[in-house]
Amino acid sequence: MDPEVEAFIPLLPRLDPTDPVGARRMFAEIAAAAPVPDTRGMDVEDRTVPGEPGVPVRIYRPHRAQGAIIWLHGGGWVVGDLDTEHPWATRLADGSGAVVISVGYRLAPEHPFPAAFDDAYAVLTWTAEHAAELGIDPNRIAVGGHSAGGGLAAGVALRARDQQGPPIRFQLLNQPGLDDRMETWSARNFTDTPWWDRERLAAAWGHYLGDAPASPYAAPARAEDLSGLPPAYIATAEFCPNRDEDILFALRLLQAGVSVELHQWAGTFHGSQAIVSAEVSQRQIAELGGAVRRALAQ
């Protein structure tokens, strides 16, 4: 493991996804203790996207931005909101130069699939319909997210393809949760990895799916046909139960004719890029912003 991130492992809180209320409280406390991000180079606005119910979003507009990314936070579909994601959305807007539309989607288990998925798709549709108001090119819209949010983004891309929805230029999938079956080597064997392991992953999938069988929109790795999807940047962490399903998904996208950039970050664990003092984390964060900037460039 990278020594800079390994040094922080004893300090990591242990979120318990089997206790959603407690996990949310702890996650919010962690986020509140983080340094306030510098947003002087952008305009930040809270809005509510019409839906059933309305979906809260926070829009980050760097000066002279033309493209946009619908950004979906991580947290196992159980924790996270616009405030906890604020530092990451700010970094992404700053690093990419794109408008970042951070989505406060509904959380499980109170709102199992398809609630969060429908919220994310509603924001995509709204963004395309309001591109002129937002000052963006409707043909330069991407979707992306961390972890659970990455899985949501991949599902949204599938739905947009299947339903001839808004055109998506690019998908940014950072350590995405894609496969509820948990049958890969990493999902079976990473039972004590930092922050995220097999037990927590199983609890998160159980909350998200509820009593419903998994569909490809909920677990995109189940999709039989990956052709016609947007180009993707997929990032994986070495010590992450999602690692192998993400690499396999990237390979299947390539075999379906989809352009993919795959980066496996050696020595990292799921979510370790939150340790922003580590050199490897700084490279990860820069890569995410750079991938969006390249994809949305003219």
pLDDT at 75 over 90: yes
State the pLDDT at residue 44. 97
Residue % of the chain over a pLDDT of 70 = 100
C-alpha 44/C-alpha 8 separation (Å) is 31
Per DSSP, the residues of 198-232 read: HHHHHHHHHHHHTTSPP-TTTSGGG-S--TTPPPE
Specify whether the backbone of 164 is left (phi greater than 0), alpha (psi in -120 to 50) or beta: left
- Number of neighbours of residue 291 by Cβ within 10 angstroms: 24
pLDDT in tens, 212-238: 899 999 999 999 999 999 999 999 999
pLDDT at 27 over 70: yes
State the pLDDT at residue 34. 81
Pairing mode, strands 232-239 and 170-174: parallel
Q: Please give the average per-residue pLDDT across 94-114, as a whole number.
A: 97
Q: Are 292 and 142 in contact (CB under 8 A)?
A: yes
State the pLDDT at residue 35. 82
Length of the chain (residues): 298
Angle (nearest 5°) at CA 79 between 37 and 193: 90
Burial class (CB in 10 A: 0-12, 13-18, 19+), 53: exposed
pLDDT at 298 over 70: no
Residue, of 243 and 32, whose pLDDT is higher: 243
Q: Which strands form 42-49's sheet, in the order they lie side by side?
A: 42-49, 55-62, 99-103, 68-72, 141-146, 170-174, 232-239, 260-269
Side-chain-side CA neighbours of 263 within 13 Å: the count stands at 17
State the pLDDT at residue 12. 86
C-alpha 226/C-alpha 28 separation (Å) is 36
Q: Are 275 and 283 in contact (CB under 8 A)?
A: no
CA 252 to chain centre: 20
C-alpha 47/C-alpha 189 separation (Å) is 42
**Per DSSP, which regions of 40-137 are E strands?**
42-49, 55-62, 68-72, 99-103
Range from 7-21, 91-105, 133-147, 177-191 carrying the lowest mean pLDDT: 7-21
pLDDT band at 15 (very low <50, low <70, confident <90, very high): confident
Which is nearest to 294 in space by CA: 232, 243, 250, 240? 232
pLDDT in tens, 46-67: 999 998 889 999 999 998 898 9
Q: Are 207 and 76 in contact (CB under 8 A)?
A: yes
Residues 6+ apart with CB under 8 A from 215: 113, 222
Residue 20, CA distances (Å) to 44, 81, 147, 275, 279 in order: 29, 13, 17, 23, 32
pLDDT in tens, 144-178: 999 999 999 999 999 999 999 999 999 999 999 99
Burial class (CB in 10 A: 0-12, 13-18, 19+), 186: buried
**What value does the mean pLDDT of the chain take?**
96
Q: What is the separation, in whole angstroms, between the first and last Cα of the chain?
A: 38
State the pLDDT at residue 66. 86
Q: Please give the average per-residue pLDDT across 118-142, as a whole number.
A: 97
